Structure 1
Amino acid sequence: MYLETLGNPSAATEDQRITALQRIVRATPALMRILRTVKDLGLPDAWLVSGGIYQTVWNVLTDRPPDFGIKDYDVIYFDGTDLSYEAEDRVIRDMNAALPDLADKLEVRNQARVHLWYEKRFGRPYFPLSCAMESLTTYAAKTHAVAVRLGDGGAIDVQAPFGLSPIFAMRLVPNPLTDNRPTYDEKAERMMALWPELTVVDWDAT
């Protein structure tokens, strides 16, 4: 199946989109190195999420280099046993040491402690999460809500609570579950400059 058809919900199934995404991830060395490092470090409930994934797909669809436009690689995990900054910082340093050539692009965060600092940084409250995947529902765009990890036997697990069709359609879709229009508009402007093929759904259209 051609990748271009995967963005049409009626032309392909979600299972076909998951299979295509798994193939793209497996064929992208940087993503696989991150996934193997996360697994080797044994981080609890840990996933590679968001831009490093969907932007890689966009680069495949538009025949650009695999790392074109990727600002960072977001790694999330959930450790409710230690909410200290020091514990999170140790994980960050371990990831950076394992992947020194990617260290300047790695963003590693314990989702169990986001509510402790989010309001001070962004000016609005953030409810305590119960698992790493719950964070995906808080993203400004549904298109951003995608996560992968290495499962048992080397399988690539995929999570996308709003589905993968917007990614393959190169369609940025706002997430009305959040009150985060400024972030959505800011990201949309940056992404349109890099991927002019992108379609941006206006926040008020949802």
Structure 2
Amino acid sequence: MISRLPLDQQLDSLRAVLSRNDMLTEVLARAATLDLPGWYVTAGCLFQTVWNVVTDSPPTNGIKDYDVFYFDAGDLSWEAEDAVIKTGREVFSDLPVEVEIRNEARVHLWYEDKFGVACPPYESTEAAIDNFAATTCCLGVRLERDGRWRVYAPHGLSDVFNLVVRPNPVLAPRSVYEAKAARWQEQWPELTVLEWPSTSLTIASGG
């Protein structure tokens, strides 16, 4: 099993699996040309590619969009972010997929209105990835200038390869996790979805 390999071999396996998704590798290559600060391709397009390969499905099966996160705290205006989004729209215009570009330095300005809970300002793109609703989602990849892949996976890769969806109750509300997990399980019935921790369990564990 890939999840029981040494970590360096898991990383090699991750790259091999993700490279099966030609659309993902194209998005990575084009995103690198934007030279955005602290950028990563992240979220569903990564772990869902793994799920597809592990379950012998087409690599792009069920992937709604491709997320590109970056971090620029120098200008928190919508106009600055929108300029980057428009540039990206030109770069990705001929691809038959939606590529969403977001400045994670601005998330705290709109998160509460959308999800009903306050979001402290992030200090990096990695901090934003840390706060996904499921730990399984906490994964980011980018191409460095020398062609190497930089992988950010604060919770490791075992759950991703083992088709386990584990809650990450640090920011997103329970309803967001459960809605996402239910949608994913419809598409990938092989998933094991773990329950959101109860209040008593959270308190007992010091959380």
Q: Under a length normalisation based on structure 2, what TM-score does the superposition of the two structures give? A: 0.91
Which runs of 5 or more structure 2 residues have no equivalent in the other structure?
202-207
Read off the aligned partner of 2:166 and give its amino acid letter.
Answer: V
Q: Tell me how far 1:172 sits from its aligned partner.
A: 0.2
Contact 1:112–1:130 (8 Å) recurs in 2:
yes
Match of 2:91 in 1: 98
Q: 1:77 aligns with which of 70, 84, 87?
A: 70
Alignment correspondent of 2:26:
33
CA offsets 1:127-159 (integer angstroms, 9 cap, x no match): 111111011111110000000000132111111
Corresponding residue of 1:197: 190
Q: 1:139 aligned to 2:149?
A: no
Does the aligned pair in 1 maintain the 2:131–2:172 contact within 8 Å? Answer: no
In the alignment, residue 6 of structure 1 is paired with which amino acid? I
Unaligned runs of 5+ in 1: none
Q: Is the 8 A contact 1:47 1:75 kept in 2?
A: yes
**Structure 1 residue 54 corresponds to structure 2 residue 52:** no
Instruction: Indicate conservation of the 8 Å contact 1:96/1:102, yes or no.
Output: no
**CA drift at 1:18:** 1.2
Match in the other structure for 2:177: 184
For residues 115 and 42 of structure 1, the distance between their equivalents in structure 2, rounded to whole angstroms, comes to 23
**Contact persistence 2:117–2:173 (CA under 8 A):** no
Q: In the aligned structure 2, how far is the partner of 1:96 from the partner of 1:179? A: 28
Residues 164-179 of structure 1 aligned to structure 2 (within 5 Å): 164-179=157-172
1:148–1:158 CA contact under 8 A, matched in 2: yes
Corresponding residue pairs, total: 199
Kindly, what percent of the aligned residue pairs are identical? 42
> 1:30 Cα shift?
1.1
Aligned to 1:6, which of 2, 7, 10?
Answer: 2
> In 2 relative to 1, CA 101–183 (structure 1 residues): closer, same or farther, beyond 3 Å?
farther
RMSD: 1.6
Distance in 1, matches of 2:35 and 2:136, equals 28
Q: Which residue of 2 aligns with 1:120?
A: 113
Query: Offset at 1:117?
Result: 1.1
Query: How far apart are the structure 1 equivalents of 2:96 and 2:73?
Result: 25
Please say if residues 142 and 174 of structure 1, whose CA atoms lie closer than 8 Å, have aligned partners that are also in contact. yes
| 1:104 positional shift | 5.3
CA distance in 2, matches of 1:115, 1:141: 19
Mapped pair 1:162 → 2:158: no
Could you give the per-residue CA deviations for residues 18-70 of structure 1, whole angstroms, max 9, x where no partner exists?
Answer: 11111223342211111111211111110001100000011111111111111
Q: Taking structure 1 as the reference length, what is the TM-score of the superposition?
A: 0.91
Tell me, in whole angstroms, the C-alpha distance in 2 between the residues paired with 1:27 and 1:198. Answer: 20
State the alpha-carbon separation in 1 of the partners of residues 181 and 110 from structure 2.
25
Residue 10 of structure 2 corresponds to: 17
